[in-house]
Amino acid sequence: MGSVKVTACCRQLFLPHARALALTTKMASSGNIICSLRRNLSSSSRLRSSMPAWVIDEYGNNGVLRFTEDATAPSVNSASEVLIQVHAASLNPLDISMRRGYGSNLLKLRRDPVSLGQNGGEFPIILGRDVSGMVLDCGSGVTHFKPGDEVWAAIPPWKQGSLAEMVNLTEYEVSHKPRSLSHREAASIPYVAATALSALVNAGGLCRNNCTNKRVLITGGSGGVGTFSIQLLKAWGAHVTVTCSHNAEGLVRGLGADEVVDYTAGDVATELGLLEKFDVILDNVGGDSEQWALGLLKSWSGAKYVTLVTPFLLNIDSMGLLEGAVHSGLNLHQKAITNMCNGVFYRWGFYAPDGPALDEVSQLVDAGKILPVVEDTFLFSQVPLAFQKVERGHARGKTVVTVAQEEEGTGVTEEEGVTSDTPEQVREEVRQAAPKS
């Protein structure tokens, strides 16, 4: 993934020069147009103090989700920030976990370092880690985006999410949306892309330059991270084996999986053991899969086991920040040393939002190498139903929420059964759905 790192470096290295160039360009030829567009798109948003959003005021089940028209509207407060109008969002298992309070201790501290030991100060929280939309306003130092640009992003878990009219991110967390996708399709990709890239590249050591003929096993391959990882690895030339249930086999084979093992048909460990050993295993399942998966790696060849199901945040939630972090560190160190003695590497993978990484993903999407996998789409007024869908598990791709009206010809058609809501329609539909007192 060398080009991603280069892109990130270039963004920072040339930032001062690009600022000067942008200022000169504005003054010379296109300044009036850009400034006019900025005023037209963002003047109303800068003046507004509230917006419609789905929030939670406490942790719990689906009943804690609340629609409000008075959520605090974000605004550009620093030179590197980008204000985005949300056109579409999508849900991930992380949103279900965060609704229940997963990671609350560490995330609250990340949001507000002076909140250590305080309870409840993080509310209200807006969930949603994926966004596809349009830039409304930019800080004075932003050079890669301008008002009117169509963008997508994976939102850090400590920031307010995309189940709202607007979201505020830094320039380095945002990327230009693939031109070939609608906002609905684009919203299905950023979170799973950021997670898969962090696991496969940072922890697994893979990239497009070293993947040819590498054997990779993906457990739980029919969900969002799995379906993206299959396509990415095939684009890079890897041989991909996937575990999933029988009714998802057609999906993962259609995305390029070379071999598929049905985990419901018998002893999956035995069946996988009959295959040639693997260079990298990406574990999306956790549990007892760790016990048998490590034996499927090639010994003493640099093979790596990467799990996305780690106890890190759970330990901090249950033990506190210091004790939980120390316990997690010792646990990881012990497993890493034990498996290193057996000739394989043991790693934890984490979700890591990265705008420059999405730049490369966007190119792969527009080249037809990666397709969006959308299982279901909900209106903004149906967010609780979308959460119920994700909470049932056994995903076959992503669950998307349409937030703003898309331009004609780029959105979801009526034949697909879904249209976008306007804010006024959302308010009316939520009122009608609310229990009568």
Residue 111 binned pLDDT confidence (cut-offs 50, 70, 90): confident
Of 20-29, 289-298, 330-339, 383-392, where does mean pLDDT reach its minimum? 20-29
User: Would you say 129 and 94 are in contact if contact means Cβ atoms under 8 Å apart?
Assistant: yes
Q: In this structure, what are the phi and psi dihedrals at residue 242, rounded to the nearest 5 degrees?
A: -130, 140
Reduced to 3 states, what is the DSSP secondary structure of residue 283?
Answer: strand
User: Would you say 206 and 280 are in contact if contact means Cβ atoms under 8 Å apart?
Assistant: yes
What is the rounded distance in angstroms from the CA atom of residue 411 to the CA atom of residue 421? 12
In percent, the amount of the chain with pLDDT more than 70 equals 80
pLDDT of residue 112: 84
**4, two tokens:** 């991603």
For residue 62, which of 432, 434, 383, 428 has the smallest C-alpha distance?
A: 383
Rounded alpha-carbon distances, angstroms, from residue 18 to 4, 22, 77, 150: 19, 6, 20, 20
pLDDT of residue 393: 86
Residue 436 binned pLDDT confidence (cut-offs 50, 70, 90): very low
**331, two tokens:** 């646990």
User: Would you say 190 and 86 are in contact if contact means Cβ atoms under 8 Å apart?
Assistant: no
User: Would you say 373 and 398 are in contact if contact means Cβ atoms under 8 Å apart?
Assistant: yes
- DSSP-derived letter for residue 291 is H
Q: Mean per-residue pLDDT for 357-365?
A: 96
User: For the whole model, what pTM was predicted?
Assistant: 0.83
**69, two tokens:** 């028209």
For residue 417, which of 374, 368, 371 has the smallest C-alpha distance?
A: 374
DSSP code per residue over 335-355:
HHHHHHTTT-EEEE------H
**242, two tokens:** 């996937």
| Most confidently modeled range among 11-15, 147-151, 291-295 | 147-151
For residue 198, which of 11, 369, 367, 356 has the smallest C-alpha distance?
A: 356
Query: pLDDT tens digits for 164-181?
Result: 999 999 999 999 999 999
**289, two tokens:** 């899969």
Q: For tokens 């990882």, what's the residue?
A: 229
- Average pLDDT over the chain, rounded to whole? 85
Q: Mean per-residue pLDDT for 150-161?
A: 97
In percent, the amount of the chain with pLDDT more than 90 equals 74
User: Would you say 245 and 263 are in contact if contact means Cβ atoms under 8 Å apart?
Assistant: yes
What is the rounded distance in angstroms from the CA atom of residue 335 to the CA atom of residue 251? 34
What is the rounded distance in angstroms from the CA atom of residue 204 to the CA atom of residue 207? 9
Query: pLDDT tens digits for 63-106?
Result: 999 999 999 999 999 999 999 999 999 999 999 999 999 999 99
**67, two tokens:** 């629609």
- Tell me the CB-side half-sphere exposure of residue 230, using CA atoms within 13 A: 29
Of 113-122, 192-201, 293-302, 318-327, where does mean pLDDT reach its minimum? 113-122
